[in-house]
Amino acid sequence: MGKYFCIFFFFIVYRSMGQQEAQYTQFMYNMSIINPAYVVDDPGSLHMGALYRTQWTGVEGAPRTANVFARMPLNEQNEVGINFVNDNIGKVLKENKFSADFAHILSLSRTLKLSLGIKAGVNNLAFDFSNTNVSTDPTFSNTNSTFLTIGAGAFLYSDSFYIGFSSPNFLPKDLDVNKESLYEKSMALYLTGGYVFEVNDYMNLKPSMVIMQEFGAPLSFDVAINAGLYDKFEIGTSYRYQDAVSILAAFSVTKSFKIGYAYDYNIGNELSEFSNGSHEIILLYNLDFLKSRRYTSPRFF
């Protein structure tokens, strides 16, 4: 029984943690987690949010992720942001990540801007095997490690499109116990893009994508398309290569508060016959310090 537990546990761990950052289905609402150059470009406001994701429902010990984030322009050229992420895999693996971003915005033309950003943070990783049937195996001794992260990115955007390129962490991390690799995280590169097509006065289409290449791992990508109605509702679908198809929905409860939900259905992998899918919810709130206008953004990103 212990042998099968180990095999299954490490299948989940390496599948989940083999990515530089969690791949959120609603990535278009908080790209700062992978790109420090992402900006809201809305002086006089504070943009905040929280995301919770339960992955592979029905699989014992499957990953759970919580993300709290905020961004605030300092002026028309500079913006700062923070992200806190808590990842849990069962009772065995816990990872807490905190990062801070700084971005500088360059105006290339009247409508086109380029943002350059840097990210610095700290990660704490803890393995606790005391509640498992491998706790007496020296390979699985309890381990706690803290390490620094440094990343950078670029973000080109206008009111109707964006293109981003980034790496949230340049520093690879290997954690070995008794000469056995327990955890490995490599540098990853991200390419993101999106566009807004105005269909008519009350509807727009918003295709977006994110491509990730982690060193030593296969290419991964997500593509999504959302339809926005009356600046109030959004509904869409997405596809993650050889992993999942998803449905997305969002609703603006008030002028400043939005709630979004996504459901992933696993396809084309070993978990599709065991998992009941993944659930993800996001809350977004925008605080206007100037109180001089209704919060509106011509962008959806």
pLDDT tens-digit readout, 236-291: 999 999 889 999 999 999 989 999 999 999 887 666 667 788 999 999 999 987 76
Amino acid 293: pLDDT: 52
Tokens of 212: 């990730």
| Cβ atoms of residues 246 and 237 within 8 Å | yes
Amino acid 7: pLDDT: 43
Cα angle 58, 55, 125 (rounded to 5 degrees) comes to: 120
Residue 176 falls within a domain, yes or no? Answer: yes
Residue 131 falls within a domain, yes or no? Answer: yes
Amino acid 294: pLDDT: 46
Amino acid 55: pLDDT: 86
Residue 293 falls within a domain, yes or no? Answer: no
Amino acid 93: pLDDT: 83
Q: In 10 A of CB 291, how many CB atoms? A: 7
Q: 10-residue block means of pLDDT along the chain (301 residues)?
A: 46 49 83 95 92 86 92 95 93 91 97 97 85 58 84 96 96 65 78 95 94 88 94 94 93 94 85 79 90 51 68
Amino acid 2: pLDDT: 45
> Distance between CA atoms of 208 and 37, rounded to whole angstroms?
17
Element (H, E) at 208: strand 203-214
CATH number of 57's domain: 2.40.160.20
| Cβ atoms of residues 183 and 175 within 8 Å | yes
* Nearest alpha-carbon partner for 21 in 185, 218, 255, 241: 185
Instruction: Give the domain range for residue 128.
Output: 2-186+258-288
Residue 151 falls within a domain, yes or no? Answer: yes
Amino acid 119: pLDDT: 98
Residue 215 falls within a domain, yes or no? Answer: no
* Nearest alpha-carbon partner for 49 in 68, 72, 22: 68
* Nearest alpha-carbon partner for 5 in 94, 127, 132: 132
Residue 207 falls within a domain, yes or no? Answer: no
Q: Which amino acid is at 43?
A: P
Beta bridge partners of 106: 114
> Distance between CA atoms of 203 and 26, rounded to whole angstroms?
20
Residue 192 falls within a domain, yes or no? Answer: no
Amino acid 221: pLDDT: 92
Q: Please give the tally of structural domains in the chain.
A: 1
Residue the block writes with tokens 């693996």: 93
Residue 206 falls within a domain, yes or no? Answer: no
